[in-house]
Amino acid sequence: AQTVTQSQPEMSVQEAETVTLSCTYDTSESDYYLFWYKQPPSRQMILVIRQEAYKQQNATENRFSVNFQKAAKSFSLKISDSQLGDAAMYFCAYRRAQDFGNEKLTFGTGTRLTIIP
């Protein structure tokens, strides 16, 4: 079974600085997708960024970028120029690429990010 591990329950960063959240996963599959979701105090789950395992290039979305190390099964999220609105729980998630129609997400336990003004 696939597992996702987030070893940092809490992180904090000064506003405008850069922070990196860690995620590791375990899978025997070679083709899969990885995601970072943000959950602000409103509890809404918001997709931040996704990465296809077959792509070597790291995904980037504005101030958010990932460092995807397939051999190490590592998928970290870097937030640049941190803003107060970035304060939230961040969840790393995994999904197999096979099994059309069976696309369950496996989530890590989350990292609570605090932004210090």
Partner 1 sequence: DSGVTQTPKHLITATGQRVTLRCSPRSGDLSVYWYQQSLDQGLQFLIQYYNGEERAKGNILERFSAQQFPDLHSELNLSSLELGDSALYFCASNAGGGVGEQYFGPGTRLTVT
> Footprint of partner 1 on this chain (CB under 8 A)?
4, 33, 35, 37, 42-47, 50, 52, 91, 95, 97, 99-110
Phi and psi torsions of 87, nearest 5°: -65, 125
Sequence-separated (6 or more) residues with CB below 8 Å from residue 117? 15, 84
Nearer to partner 1, 86 or 95 (CB): 95
Nearer to partner 1, 12 or 109 (CB): 109
Smallest distance from partner 1 to CB 17, Å: 25
The upper half-sphere exposure of residue 71, i.e. CA atoms within 13 Å in the direction of its Cβ, equals 0
Nearer to partner 1, 44 or 83 (CB): 44
